[in-house]
Amino acid sequence: MDLRLTETQEAARQTARELAEKKLLPAAAKLDAGETFPVEAVKDLAEAGLLGMRIPESHGGAALDTVSYALTLMEIARADAAVAVTLSVNNLVAETLANFATPAQKDAWLPRLNTPEGLGAFALTEPQAGSDASNLRTRAEHKGSHYLLNGEKTWITSANHAGVFLVMAVTDPAKRSKGISAFLVEGGAKGMTVGKHEPKMGQRASHSCPVFFKDCKVPAANLLGGEGEGLKVALSGLDSGRIGIASLSVGILQACLEEMLRYSKERTAFGKPIADFQAIQWMIADTAVELEAARNLTLAAAWRKDAGEPIGEKAAMAKLFASEAANRAAYRATQVFGGYGYSREFRVERLYRDARVLTLYEGTSEIQRLVIARNVLK
Ligand code: CAA
């Protein structure tokens, strides 16, 4: 792996950094406090060509490589993790579509994911099926020219602003994991309703909603992949998605380190800046090492993906390490700030809350370990 960035990768990072510093960071605290969906940020991302950055050029996207994508998410998450997860879920849907869609489906659906109105939602999780993704209950009954969807999804990112839903549902209950299929459903489709977004601890400007299907008619042409291939569609999409969440984690780690450095040089105690104390220096050193390790694991997984190698295990490793390290970094940053770190007036309080979900969504740390162990033991 070549650790030097190409011109394209450097340019993608720079574009994202400018947008993050000029627009996203100044708006982040207010959006978080109001649980306000980042409508303007999504428009800005679309204008900067970042919303559909992994969509092929033939379908209006920027067709950036995975390393550029990871670098972009790191910069966005450094400013606002809620915006970054909105972007990464859009990309999760776009990439899964690009990998499994027929040419006609690509023409019909991919260009929408470049636009704020066509934002993607990935509808896998159900109230009783989070980690156990094959235990779905949402039913899709084949009725000739269409399927009829009935059931309930939960924790669906951006559902109340999405235009393109990727929905996994059971087509043949007897076949269990081989009886699940994936469907493309338009936002606002008759028979699909989106409930109120969850009040959350962190990443509050990203909205996570329940979605209900009651006799929702989906054209048979909207089946993505073959019937019974839905779990494979979803889980292979999540392999890539986990590189996205690892990148988000790196962004939060970076922000924690920056805050620790700035504050520890400004704040004095016992007659000198607290950065002069070894207790603080060790926390800074540990965070710097973990940032470096997390970034390298994430970029290595992205690089392997671009090289066409299998990435399941490496993406799980990057997501596990980076998300856990981001939580340790947020804990240390709060320690360095002392009581101020517990105040809503300071950025580290938001970073601490935003970091927490990183070890939960797109597969908990325990699921990442399961994926890694299965690979290591085989
Ligand atoms: N790619 C493609 N296919 C895969 C796969 C992968 N990475 N992993 C498994 N499969 C296939 C298997 O080959 C198998 O198919 P066959 O029977 O044809 O061989 C089928 O899927 C079932 O696999 P397993 O037997 O391994 O299933 P399992 O139930 O033992 O375990 C699991 C699977 C790894 C635990 C999986 O269920 C999993 O990853 N769970 C976590 C789900 C998750 O990450 N949810 C996140 C929700 S989305 C989200 O958070 C997005 C957001 O909004 C922020």
- For residue 311, how far is its CA from the centre of ligand 1 (angstroms)? 14
Best of 131, 165, 172, 232 for a ligand 1 pocket test (most atoms within 8 Å of beta carbon):
232
CA–CA gap between residue 375 and residue 258 (Å, rounded)? 36
The Å distance, Cα 232 to ligand 1 centre, comes to 7
Nearest CA to ligand 1 atom 53: 157
Stretch (H or E) spanning 321: helix 312-337
8 Å CB contact between 81 and 354 = yes
To the nearest 10°, report the CA torsion of 55, 61, 63, 64: -100
Q: What is the DSSP pairing of strand 120-123 with strand 164-170?
A: parallel
Structure tokens at 13: 């990072």
| Amino acid identity for residue 138 in this structure | T
Name the 3-class secondary structure at 99: helix
| This prediction's pTM | 0.97
Q: For a pocket test of ligand 1, which of 87, 177, 372, 377 has the largest count of ligand atoms closer than 8 A to its C-beta? A: 177
| pLDDT (0 to 100) of residue 3 | 85
* Whole-number pLDDT of residue 57: 94
Per annotation, catalytic residue among 10, 345, 362, 366: 362
Helix axes 347-356, 81-100, angle to 10 degrees: 30
| Residues in the chain, pLDDT under 50 | none
At residue 256, the pLDDT reads 98
Cα–Cα distance list, 163 to 12, 57, 93, 234, 288 (Å): 26, 20, 11, 18, 40
Is the beta carbon of 133 within 6 A of some atom in ligand 1? yes
Tell me if 82 CB under 6 Å of ligand 1.
Answer: no
pLDDT in tens, 11-52: 999 999 999 999 999 999 999 999 999 999 999 999 999 999
Residue 40 falls in the annotated catalytic set: no
Residue 233: exposure state from Cβ atoms within 10 A (0-12, 13-18, ≥19): buried
Domains of the chain: 7-118 (1.10.540.10), 120-230 (2.40.110.10), 232-376 (1.20.140.10)
CA–centroid distance, residue 237 to ligand 1 (Å): 10
- Which residue has its alpha carbon closest to ligand 1 atom 1? 236
C-alpha distances (whole Å) from 275 to each of 15, 33, 268, 326, 327 are 32, 30, 8, 21, 21
* 186-199 pLDDT tens trace: 999 999 999 999 99
d(CA 348, CA 344): 8
- Nearest ligand 1 atom to the CA of 158 is 53
Do 191 and 213 contact (CB within 8 A), yes or no?
yes
Q: In this structure, are residues 165 and 186 in contact, taking their beta carbons and an 8 Å threshold?
A: yes
User: How many angstroms does the Cα of residue 363 sit away from the middle of ligand 1?
Assistant: 9
Residue 232's CB is within 10 A of a number of other CB atoms, namely: 16
- The pLDDT, as a whole number, for residue 1 is 82
